[in-house]
Structure 1
Amino acid sequence: MTLAWHTLIDYHDCDSARLTDPGGLRTVLLEAISAAGGTYVTDVFHQFSPHGLSGVVVIAESHVAIHTWPEHRFAAVDIFSCSPSLDQEAVIVRLGAWLGAEWRRIDPRERGLHVHRAPTDCGKKDG
């Protein structure tokens, strides 16, 4: 049994200006997560000097994180979900299109293999 799905995405030859736009990046991530069936919990974004930014969107299903290197026109993204209903491909496609990525590498992983999984509330927001 798989406990979670973790997808690593490398986006190459991106639009450098978009890699330094925390507001735009936050907006596109929230829209992509919503379209993927994710449940927003909270987020944090930090812009570094002189380059790049990092952001994490916590969702009830786990998280989406991004780290950018505009000087290399590169972004690294992690999508981690304990819910098979989260459409990770929707996030991958929308984010890549917004970043203007010329190409991408996707490395999907199953996490927690061989862990006994009891019924869970994964994907349900507290409160």
Structure 2
Amino acid sequence: MKGLHLTADLYRCRCAAEWLTDATQLGEWCVEAVEAVGLQVVGRLFHAFPATERGPGGVTATVLLAESHVCLHTWPEERAVTCDVYVCNFSGDHSAKARGLMFALVNRFQPEWTEQRSLDRGEEA
């Protein structure tokens, strides 16, 4: 189960507002970004939350991969996003693809600053 798990918390995103509120637009772009780095989509779920007194509802976008998953959650009232990219390296080392995907995700939202983490998962065989 050797793999790489990347996370990023994005703050004060300067992207257009619809990237934080439009589940269809964000989800379709996520699928394109996954395919662009050479990972394989096997499922997807994109959900928009209703607006509240604090502002427009956010989005959860999940793309299931043959290699594992990508998940995004947006908070439009805070202009914030969390990103989660996990790849298992069972059939080969997908670490570079995961890093390329995370780079694309961060660039999409244009945050003023990020907190990123990387976790090697599992043990060497």
Q: TM-score, normalised by structure 2?
A: 0.81
Letter of the aligned partner of 2:82 in structure 1? A
| Residue pair 1:9, 1:104 contacting (<8 A) in 2 also | yes
Q: Which stretches in structure 1 are left out of the alignment for 5+ residues?
A: 118-127
Question: Hey, what does 2:99 align to over in structure 1?
Answer: 89
Question: Hey, what does 2:48 align to over in structure 1?
Answer: 47
What's the Cα RMSD here? 1.7
Distance 1:89 1:28 in 2: 17
Query: What percentage of aligned pairs have identical amino acids?
Result: 31
Aligned length: 114
Shift of 1:100: 2.5
Shift of 1:37: 1.4
Letter of the aligned partner of 2:58 in structure 1? G
Shift of 1:5: 0.8
Question: Hey, what does 1:100 align to over in structure 2?
Answer: 110
Shift of 1:55: 1.5
Q: Which stretches in structure 2 are left out of the alignment for 5+ residues?
A: 52-56
2:5 aligned with 1:6:
yes
SS at match of 1:109: strand
Q: Which is worse superposed, 28-37 or 58-67?
A: 28-37
Write out the 4+ residue segments of structure 1 that deviate beyond 4 Å after TM superposition.
none
Q: 1:70 aligns with which of 43, 68, 76?
A: 76
Q: TM-score, normalised by structure 1?
A: 0.80
| Residue pair 1:20, 1:70 contacting (<8 A) in 2 also | yes
Shift of 1:66: 0.7
| Residue pair 2:6, 2:102 contacting (<8 A) in 1 also | no
